[in-house]
Amino acid sequence: MLPKINIEDYRYDLPEERIAQYPVSERDRSKLLLYQNGNISEDVFRNIAGYLPSDSLLVFNNTKVIRARLLFRKETGAAIEIFCLEPLVPADYEQSFGSAEPVEWKCIIGNLKKWKSGMLSSKFSHKGKEFELEASKIKPEGGAWRIRFSWNNEKITFREVTESAGHIPLPPYVKREDEQEDNIRYQTVYSKIKGSVAAPTAGLHFTDNVLSAINNKGIRRVDLTLHIGAGTFKPVKTNDISKHEMHCEHFIIKEELIETLLSLQGKIIAVGTTSVRTLESLYWLGVKLRNNTGRNIKFNIDQWEPYKEQREISVGESFKTLLAEIKRGGNGFLHGSTTMMIIPGYRFRIINGMITNFHQPGSTLLLLVSAYIGEDWQKIYRYALYNRFRFLSFGDSSLLIK
Q: Look up the CATH number of the domain holding residue 249.
A: 3.40.1780.10
**Distance, CA of 60 to CA of 27 (rounded, Å):** 16
Longest dimension (CA), the chain: 62
**Distance, CA of 310 to CA of 347 (rounded, Å):** 14
Q: Which of 133, 167, 201 is the last residue of a domain?
A: 167
Q: Quote the pLDDT of residue 243.
A: 87
Residue 48 placed within a domain: yes
Q: 58-76: b or e for each residue (b if 16 or more CB lie within 10 Å)?
A: bbbbbbbbbbbbbebeeee
Residues 211 and 353 in one domain: yes
Residue 199 placed within a domain: yes
Residue 172 placed within a domain: no
Residues 74 and 55 in one domain: no
Angle (nearest 5°) at CA 174 between 171 and 179: 90
Q: Quote the pLDDT of residue 330.
A: 86
Q: In one letter, which amino acid is 36?
A: Q
Strand order in the sheet with 144-151: 69-73, 79-89, 103-110, 144-151, 129-141, 120-126
Closest C-alpha among 154, 144, 155, 175 to residue 68: 144
Q: At what angle do helices 273-291 and 255-263 cross, to 10 degrees?
A: 90
Q: 274-303: b or e for each residue (b if 16 or more CB lie within 10 Å)?
A: bbbbbbbbbbbbbbbbbeeeeeeeebbbbb
- pLDDT tens for the 402 residues of the chain, in order: 788 888 999 999 999 999 999 999 999 999 999 999 899 999 999 999 999 999 999 999 999 999 999 999 988 889 999 999 999 999 988 899 999 999 999 999 999 999 988 899 999 999 999 999 999 999 998 889 999 999 998 899 999 999 999 999 999 999 999 999 999 999 999 999 999 999 999 999 999 999 999 999 999 999 999 999 887 887 788 888 888 888 889 999 999 999 999 999 999 999 999 999 999 999 999 999 998 865 666 789 999 999 987 788 999 999 999 999 999 888 899 999 999 999 999 999 999 999 999 999 999 999 999 999 999 999 999 999 999 999 999 999 999 998
Q: Which of 109, 136, 167 is the last residue of a domain?
A: 167
Question: 135 in helix, strand or coil?
Answer: strand
Q: Quote the pLDDT of residue 326.
A: 93
Residues 394 and 284 in one domain: yes
Residue 110 placed within a domain: yes
Residue 35 placed within a domain: yes
Residues 26 and 151 in one domain: no
Residues 234 and 366 in one domain: yes
Residues 252 and 113 in one domain: no
Question: 130 in helix, strand or coil?
Answer: strand
- DSSP assignment of 235-286: ----SBGGG--PPPEEEEEEHHHHHHHHHTTT-EEEESHHHHHHHHHHHHHH
Residue 179 placed within a domain: no
Classify residue 347 by its DSSP letter.
P
Q: Which helix (H) or strand (E) holds 101?
A: none
Closest C-alpha among 82, 101, 92 to residue 157: 101
**Distance, CA of 148 to CA of 137 (rounded, Å):** 7
Residues 228 and 303 in one domain: yes
Residues 292 and 151 in one domain: no
Residues 377 and 351 in one domain: yes
Domain count, the chain: 2
Residues 241 and 114 in one domain: no
Closest C-alpha among 61, 92, 62, 59 to residue 192: 62
Q: Quote the pLDDT of residue 187.
A: 98
- Give pTM, 2 decimals: 0.93
Residues 51 and 86 in one domain: no
Residue 180 placed within a domain: no
Residues 318 and 397 in one domain: yes
Domain membership of residue 23 as a residue range? 7-64+185-401
Residue 158 placed within a domain: yes
Q: Is 170 left (phi over 0), alpha (psi -120 to 50) or beta?
A: beta
Q: Quote the pLDDT of residue 340.
A: 95
Classify residue 47 by its DSSP letter.
G
Q: Quote the pLDDT of residue 293.
A: 65
